[in-house]
Structure 1
Amino acid sequence: METEIKHQRNYQEIILWLEKKGVELYGNQFKILESDYPLIYKLMAYFLKDEATCYQYGINLDKGVLLSGPVGCGKTTLMHLMKNLTPVEHKFNIKPCRDISFEFIQEGYEIIHKYSKGKLYQSDPKTICFDDLGTENNLKYFGNECNVMAEIMLSRYDLFVSKKIKTHITTNLSVSEVETAYGNRVRSRLRNMINLIAFDKTTKDKR
């Protein structure tokens, strides 16, 4: 059980520090709910590279993170907060999938290259969090339809295998919905390259 996990650091103190950071970023109304602590402990263990605690949680530090949960439960906010815990060599950018889809409409297939093997990964940060996977649509460029994020995920799997570059994702989709939207190949690759950390389906909208 999660209550039996022995943390190597004082996670309670770190949560209070993160809450202060959240107030700085999002205003005085920001609060980390105690009901979310078990999930946040997992994220903290991962981004602090706390090997002993990750081992107890079954989290693989060589993989990225897929953070899933209902709309408004705080996935994007938490990933922004986790950037404050991440060692310099593991820093990451957060990129909304909808923005990538709009870039694709304007610039075409070069965008797929940009977020997989392009110049973006010749300098830090080498890791990226694709935010709100599933909110973008299949788009057309000069009449050709393309599932942009599916192509990016497949390319990033190749990067993961060849260069150990991680990918993080936030999404409202369930695992089966990911397969429906992006195909079995993408789901299979994601299983190999990420740790699934999920909010309870009943988590309320915090907005």
Structure 2
Amino acid sequence: MENEIKSHYNYSEVILWLEKKGTELYGNHFKIVETDYPIVYKLIAYFLKDEPTCFQYGINLNKGILLSGPVGCGKTSLMNLMKHLTPTEHKFLVKPCRDISFEFIQDGYQIIHKYSIGKLYESQPKTICFDDLGIENNLKYYGNECNVMAEILLSRYDIFISRKIQTHITTNLSATEIEKHYGNRVRSRLREMVNLIAYDKSTPDKR
């Protein structure tokens, strides 16, 4: 696979560096398995903004990343590692969707603002990776049911269009399941907002 990558970056070295960082963060058992290299190469190319390689992979650098794959395949750890590869101006926050849903129960609709437009005193919305989309449930706030993540993603689409702010997502849902959970408006907005990078369904649970 590697010799197919024509790049001024040495991807083998980047993988070694990521593994070293991974053992610091997750312990000595952390390893990037070779079968995952095709996925990891795409993420490296994207987060290093390696244009020629992204072009080979058909990755659009203006869009965010939707990393999809079965439970336990390592999506969250990879996105946390990518934070360390990313140039300062593209740094992002990894935020579990489940935590957002608990915040919504506590604080209500201002949470939708917080994760889309940003807090009132922030001049610029942030790039966020919404981790584990689909694990949160529809929640009631004072008896009103709200699909919090659907609302946030629709708002993130607006800031993507108006201000080029990117959104990243990890999920174990398929495109069809995303549509079922969040509606076809969200699904079609996501097509415009993100590059899909998907693990094979048969990827084993690494936990």
Scaled to the shorter chain, the TM-score interval is over 0.9
User: For the residues of structure 2 that align with 1:2 and 1:177, how far apart are their CA atoms?
Assistant: 33
Aligned to 1:61: 61
TM-score (norm 1): 0.96
Task: For residue 125 of structure 1, report the CA deviation from its aligned partner.
Answer: 7.7
User: For the residues of structure 2 that align with 1:97 and 1:50, how far apart are their CA atoms?
Assistant: 29
Percentage of identical aligned residues:
78
Aligned to 1:44: 44
Task: For residue 8 of structure 1, report the CA deviation from its aligned partner.
Answer: 2.7
Q: 1:48 to 1:120 in 2, by over 3 A?
A: farther
User: For the residues of structure 2 that align with 1:195 and 1:39, how far apart are their CA atoms?
Assistant: 12
User: For the residues of structure 2 that align with 1:130 and 1:91, how far apart are their CA atoms?
Assistant: 14
Q: 1:192 to 1:23 in 2, by over 3 A?
A: same
Code of the residue aligned with 2:205 in structure 1: it is D
CA contact (8 A) 2:2 2:11 kept: no
Aligned to 2:189: 189
Residue ranges of structure 1 left out of the alignment (5+ in a row): none
1:52-108 per-residue CA deviation (whole Å, 9 max, x = no partner) reads 000000000000000000000000000000011000000000000000000000000
User: For the residues of structure 1 that align with 2:128 and 2:71, how far apart are their CA atoms?
Assistant: 21
Q: Within 5 Å, give how 1:132-147 maps onto structure 2.
A: 132-147=132-147
Code of the residue aligned with 2:20 in structure 1: it is K
> 1:204 aligned to 2:204?
yes
Task: For residue 165 of structure 1, report the CA deviation from its aligned partner.
Answer: 0.3
Q: How many residues align?
A: 207
Code of the residue aligned with 1:92 in structure 2: it is F
Code of the residue aligned with 1:107 in structure 2: it is D
CA contact (8 A) 1:92 1:125 kept: no
CA contact (8 A) 1:91 1:124 kept: no
Q: 1:190 to 1:120 in 2, by over 3 A?
A: farther
> 1:102 aligned to 2:102?
yes
User: For the residues of structure 2 that align with 1:125 and 1:39, how far apart are their CA atoms?
Assistant: 28
TM-score (norm 2): 0.96
Task: For residue 123 of structure 1, report the CA deviation from its aligned partner.
Answer: 5.5
Code of the residue aligned with 1:73 in structure 2: it is C
Task: For residue 122 of structure 1, report the CA deviation from its aligned partner.
Answer: 2.7
Aligned to 1:167: 167
User: For the residues of structure 2 that align with 1:22 and 1:94, how far apart are their CA atoms?
Assistant: 16
Q: Calculate the aligned-residue CA RMSD, in Å.
A: 1.6
User: For the residues of structure 1 that align with 2:82 and 2:32, how far apart are their CA atoms?
Assistant: 13
Task: For residue 7 of structure 1, report the CA deviation from its aligned partner.
Answer: 2.8
Q: 1:144 to 1:125 in 2, by over 3 A?
A: closer
Task: For residue 120 of structure 1, report the CA deviation from its aligned partner.
Answer: 7.6
Task: For residue 157 of structure 1, report the CA deviation from its aligned partner.
Answer: 0.1
